[in-house]
Amino acid sequence: MAGVRFIEVGTEEAGQRLDNFLLKHLRKAPRPLIYRIVRKGEVRVNKGRAQVSQRLQTGDVVRVPPVKLADTPERVTPPVAQVPRIEQAILFEDDDLIVINKPPGMAVHGGSGVSWGLIELVRNARPLAKRVELVHRLDRDTSGAIILAKKMSVLRDLHQQVRDHQVTKIYWALVKGQWPKARTKVEQPLRKFNLPSGERRVEVHPAGKPSLSFVRVLADLPNASLLEVKLATGRTHQIRVHCAANGHPIAGDDKYGDAGFDRWQRQQGMTSLALHARLVSFRHPKTGEQVTLTAPLYPDFDKLLMSQRINQKDVT
């Protein structure tokens, strides 16, 4: 087992998340181990404690501790049978990036009890791509458009666009009850906390981070509303908590939802979270052209709306 290493971040690694940086330099380490050593403070950035989601900058010095890998399992290769599922979900692809309509229930990466996720599938399906990295994330139960970069230069450019609010992300959500049409903005600070079990949750709290969602009612159902939500900030569980905190939880939400409303949803044949990343728009880092992509609903969400005589193609 090697000793402590101090690694200076180069220009090619600038903008990368700390967890991805560590996965590169601790090649056989599983993601849960990476999270653990960061959480325990064994990893330092410029001598200070760090977060796995922290973005590294050129010149940062990362303390990488020695880790024992002999007893850790090898990384799991995603099932080959899953690759066609991803191929069919591609919305856009070129030599620089790929945009996928992520299925509901699929994690974006392995870890926390999940051996593989979307990123492992794409890397397995595109072995000739030097680097495939997530530009942003979606909750495991959220479906829809997600961007992955194939080059570090593209990743850095898109991350900068995200920071500059130049990437548009629009979601569809089916919520309980009738959302007031006059309520077009939800501006409530959000704070992360842990339940006694250790499970992560998010709540509206005065000490939380500023969070802003723009909301528009697309359609009214007898006991629900189909909403379009545009994010001005991208906090964890932002749409789910903003909807629930205002008395309109999203259908199928096992963390912030309503049991009675979820029973109605299941009776309509849908068991997954009714939250879908419907549209993403960004400037292509290489061509400069604006790329706008719409992700079709997955069948269970679509069938539920069709049962209420709502055709996704007619919703504007």
Domain at 19, CATH number: 3.10.290.10
Residues 182 and 229 grouped into a single domain: yes
Range of the domain at 117: 76-157
Q: Which residue of the set 19, 60, 96, 139 is catalytic?
A: 139
> In one letter, which amino acid is 269?
G
Report residue 18 as tokens.
């700390």
What does pTM read for this prediction? 0.77
Residues 192 and 247 grouped into a single domain: yes
Find the helix packing angle between 31-39 and 18-25, rounded to 10°: 120
Among the candidates 64, 91, 115, a domain finishes at 64
Residue 298 lies in a domain: no
What is the per-residue pLDDT across 265-299, written as a single tens digit (0 to 9) for each? 999 999 999 999 999 999 999 999 999 999 999 99
Residues 188 and 270 grouped into a single domain: yes
What is the per-residue pLDDT across 154-207, written as a single tens digit (0 to 9) for each? 999 999 999 999 999 999 999 999 999 999 999 999 999 988 887 889 999 999
User: Which has the closest alpha carbon to 172: 252, 250, 258?
Assistant: 250
pLDDT of residue 2: 61
Cross-strand partners of 212: 187
Residue 162 lies in a domain: no
Domain count, the chain: 3
Query: CA–CA distance from 63 to each of 7, 58, 80, 179, 282 (Å)?
Result: 7, 15, 36, 49, 34
What is the per-residue pLDDT across 216-229, written as a single tens digit (0 to 9) for each? 999 999 899 999 99
Residue 47 lies in a domain: yes
Residue 284 to residue 90: CA distance in whole angstroms: 17
Residues 119 and 42 grouped into a single domain: no
Burial of 185 (0-12, 13-18, 19+ CB in 10 A): exposed
pLDDT at 115 exceeding the cut of 90: no
Active-site residue, 157 included = no
Residues 153 and 174 grouped into a single domain: no
Residue 303 lies in a domain: no
